[in-house]
Each structure stands twice: as structure tokens, then as C-alpha cells.
């Protein structure tokens, strides 16, 4: 008996989630980044200040109007101002939903500046913000883990698009061993070290005295090792403002690059204390306290001492130490001692430096020299990760 398979089409009910898609969802990345980094400035052809100005002229008495919007109103006007701004915000979302405006027409930095509370509420509804506390632009934002991925994508697209894209996860070393990686160096074939794939037949003929392959030679293998990283992020009080934003951006970018190649990474925040940071918490770091670089390097050394392979420490800081965990050493000498101690575990030190003070530059240079096989990345602008000066030691 033959069966004929027929194709039936079934009408699926329309997805309510698709139908009710948040018109601001596609702008979430840009809104989150501008909320995280208030120093970021982009442009848009649609002037949101003029857009809100029209609502204010109609609804709220104007007193010497100029930006910022809150500064020119008495407290009795605040509630009315909130209502007017809410109305303008809903109208703006309607324009975006209908296609009258597109995301490219709007400056996200201006959007966050003018509609700060509305943007925060919108991102909370989307599930990117856990809590927000405070009033007006003094609100403290606590981001959810998913927000780091969103902000990280934006950071990479803005800051790292022209940087060297070498793989940091695995490094090819000069160590000898069995490996699929071959070097240019010709050595005598050793069956305990080399595989038959390493044998160079042509060179064996050339180097054999009687050309009868009495002597086999091989291309020396290169040995590949995994890297273990510790990232030290300075969260002392001096890092407030642009520096902490630059440090977090650098930290997220490095984390993304390292994790892409399945390398081990520990993130540590330090001031006069040290604490491990979960990857999803890096966006919520806040600066406070004094700076103890020696303590941070000591903590990194203890972590890496238990790891195998190449050991690398990233130190992100803005100034010389002001605190010492070791009561017998000054903050400066404690930092230098711990940089030197990294040699004991054959660790490399990569310093990401945001400060311009001569003493701090001298300290970073001295730490790199004492550690050996180190580099100092000097960023004159913490928010421009594409422009830096590199010194190798």
C-alpha cells in the first residue's frame, strides 16, 4: 500500500511578543554604553533639546531656559516637569516605532542626558539594569550580567577596531617538545622528541655525507602552552571619572579577547585591599580607598604560582601607590619588590598606565625593568584605547 504524504499549512497565531516589540530594544546597546560612559559624545541630526523645548514652552513656565534642564526650575515645577518629559518620551518612542525617526537620527549621549530617568526605567524593563538609586543624574546604576556583553560589544566596535589582533590565548614559545608547530631550525632527528612528520627529507639528503640517509634531520618542534592571566584593576579613589570608565573598558576588552581563546583569567579589583571580581561584576566597579600596587602584585603572584604555562599579569592603574600592606616598606618600595618577585614564577607584567605624572611613569618603568619581559602601555586619554605609546622591556 502506498502512502501519499501531503503538506498542510497551519496558520500560526501572531506572536504577541513580536507584535509588542519595544521600539527602543534595537537602541539598547547604544543607550547602555552612553549611560555607562557619560563622556561619550555622538551626533544626531534630530535635536532632542529642541524637541523637549517645545513641550516645556507649552506646559511649564520658562525661567531663563538653558541646559541642563533641571537647573532652571524651582522645586514646585519638578513634578510638572517630570510629567512633561514623560509625555515627550512617549511621543519620541511613537516616532521611532512608526519609522518617522530612526536610531541613526538620534544622538544617544544626548538622549541619555535629557531623558536620563526615562532611559534608566526603559533599560530596567528590558532587563539590563538590576537597580538604580538616588535622584536625577546622581543615580547609582547596578547593571545585570547581560549588560556587560552589550557594553563590551560597543567598546570593541569603538575602541579596538584598529588594534593588533594577535591571539593572546596561546603563545608559541621556544621550548622544545612534541608539537604540530615546526620552526626553521634544523636539528638531528630524535625519535623521543620528534614525530616522523618533523623529518625534512631534502635536508637529510643534503647533510648526509654519502647521500644515503645515514643521518636524518628534522625541523625542530615548537611547543604551545596555555596562558594564565591575572587582571588587576585599580579602583582607588583617584580613579574617579574618566579613568575608572577607561579601566573598565580596557578590562572588558581584554577579558573578551582572552576568553575567546579559552585561557584562564582571574580579575582582581584593588585599592588598599584586594578582592576577586566575577566577570559579570566588572561593570559595577566603583572607585574608593587608597592605592596599594604592591599588595595587588603579591595577590596576583600567589594566584599564578598555582598555574601552569605562561603567566601574565595585567596591571591597570593611574598613579603611584599611597598605601603599603607591608609595614616595613614604603608603598613605592613594596610595589618594586613585588614586581621583582614576579620573576620567581617567570611571570610577565603588562602595565596599562593612565597617569602622566613623572613619578608614576618612573615607577612603571622601574617595575617593568625589575620584572623583565614586560611592557608598559601609556594612554594619554583613558577613553581612547586606540591611541597609546608602547614601551617594551
Greatest Cα-to-Cα distance within the chain, rounded to the nearest angstrom: 103
* Structure confidence at residue 179 (pLDDT): 46
* pLDDT tens digits, one per residue of 162-174: 444 444 444 434 4
* DSSP states along 295-347: HHHHHHHHHHTT--SEEEEEEEESS-----SSTTS-HHHHHHHHHHHGGGGTE
pLDDT, position 345: 95
Q: What's the pLDDT band for 268 if we cut at 50, 70, 90?
A: very high
pLDDT classification of 280: cutoffs 50, 70, 90: confident
- % of residues, the chain, pLDDT over 90: 42
Selection from 148-162, 195-209, 368-382 with the highest mean pLDDT: 368-382
Q: How crowded is residue 381: how many other Cβ atoms within 10 Å of its Cβ?
A: 12
Q: What is the pLDDT of residues 3-33, one digit of tens each?
A: 333 334 444 444 444 444 555 788 888 999 9
Arithmetic mean of pLDDT over the chain = 79
As beta bridge partners, residue 224 has: 172
Higher pLDDT, 70 or 263: 263
Report pLDDT for 184.
Answer: 63
Q: Domains of the chain (ranges plus CATH)?
A: 19-143 (no CATH), 172-224 (no CATH), 225-392 (3.40.50.410)
Q: For residues 290 and 288, give the distance between their C-alpha atoms in angstroms, rounded to a whole number.
A: 7
Question: Mean per-residue pLDDT for 309-333?
Answer: 94
- C-alpha cell recorded at residue 160: 579596538
Count other Cβ atoms within 10 Å, centred on residue 179.
19
- Residue with C-alpha cell 621550548? 175
Does residue 315 register a pLDDT over 90? Answer: yes
Give me the mean pLDDT over the 224-230 stretch.
Answer: 80
* pLDDT-derived band at 331, boundaries 50, 70, 90: very high
CA distance 102 to 323: 51
Per-residue pLDDT of 100-122, as tens digits, reads: 998 889 999 999 988 998 999 99
What are the pLDDT digits (tens) for 160-219? 554 444 444 444 344 444 444 555 677 776 766 666 666 776 666 666 665 555 677 777
Mean pLDDT of 335-346: 96
Distance CA 295, CA 230 (A): 14
Range with the poorest average pLDDT among 258-272, 291-305, 364-378: 258-272
User: Where is average pLDDT lowest: 158-162, 238-242, 287-291?
Assistant: 158-162
Amino acid at each position: 500500500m502506498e502512502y501519499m504524504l501531503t503538506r498542510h499549512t497551519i496558520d500560526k497565531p501572531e506572536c504577541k511578543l513580536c507584535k509588542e516589540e519595544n521600539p527602543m530594544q534595537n537602541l539598547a546597546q547604544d543607550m547602555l554604553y552612553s549611560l555607562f560612559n557619560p563622556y561619550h559624545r555622538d551626533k544626531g541630526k534630530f535635536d532632542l533639546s529642541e524637541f523637549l523645548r517645545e513641550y516645556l514652552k507649552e506646559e511649564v513656565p520658562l525661567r531663563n531656559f538653558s541646559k541642563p534642564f533641571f537647573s532652571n526650575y524651582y522645586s514646585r515645577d519638578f513634578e510638572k516637569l517630570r510629567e512633561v518629559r514623560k509625555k515627550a518620551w512617549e511621543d519620541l518612542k511613537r516616532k521611532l516605532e512608526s519609522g518617522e525617526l530612526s536610531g541613526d537620527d538620534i544622538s544617544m549621549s544626548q538622549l541619555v542626558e535629557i531623558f536620563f530617568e526615562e532611559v534608566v526605567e526603559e533599560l530596567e524593563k528590558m532587563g539590563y539594569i538590576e537597580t538604580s538609586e538616588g535622584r536625577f543624574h546622581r543615580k547609582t546604576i547596578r547593571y545585570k550580567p547581560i549588560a556587560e556583553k552589550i557594553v563590551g560589544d560597543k567598546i570593541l566596535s569603538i575602541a579596538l577596531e584598529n588594534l593588533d589582533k594577535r591571539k593572546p590565548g596561546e603563545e608559541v614559545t621556544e621550548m622544545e617538545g612534541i608539537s604540530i608547530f615546526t620552526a626553521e631550525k634544523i636539528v638531528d632527528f630524535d625519535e623521543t622528541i620528534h614525530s616522523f612528520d618533523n623529518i625534512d627529507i631534502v635536508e637529510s639528503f643534503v647533510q648526509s655525507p654519502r647521500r644515503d640517509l645515514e643521518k636524518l634531520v628534522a625541523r625542530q618542534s615548537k611547543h604551545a602552552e596555555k596562558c594564565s592571566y591575572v587582571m588587576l584593576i585599580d579602583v582607588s579613589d583617584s580613579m574617579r571619572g574618566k579613568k575608572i570608565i577607561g579601566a573598565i573598558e580596557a578590562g572588558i576588552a581584554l577579558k573578551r579577547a582572552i576568553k575567546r581563546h579559552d585561557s584562564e583569567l582571574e580579575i582582581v579589583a584593588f585599592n588598599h585591599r584586594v578582592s576577586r571580581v566575577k566577570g559579570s561584576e566588572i561593570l559595577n566597579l566603583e572607585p574608593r580607598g587608597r592605592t596599594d600596587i604592591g599588595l595587588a602584585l603579591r595577590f596576583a603572584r600567589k594566584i599564578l604560582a598555582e598555574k601552569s604555562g605562561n603567566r601574565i599579569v595585567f596591571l591597570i592603574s593611574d598613579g603611584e601607590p599611597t598605601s603599603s600592606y607591608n609595614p616595613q616598606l614604603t608603598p613605592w618600595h613594596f610595589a618594586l619588590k613585588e614586581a621583582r618577585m614576579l620573576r620567581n614564577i617567570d611571570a610577565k607584567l603588562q602595565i596599562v598606565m593612565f597617569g602622566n605624572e613623572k613619578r608614576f611613569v618612573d615607577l612603571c618603568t622601574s617595575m617593568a625593568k625589575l620584572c623583565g619581559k614586560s611592557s608598559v602601555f601609556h594612554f594619554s586619554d583613558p577613553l581612547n584605547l586606540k591611541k597609546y605609546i608602547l614601551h617594551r622591556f
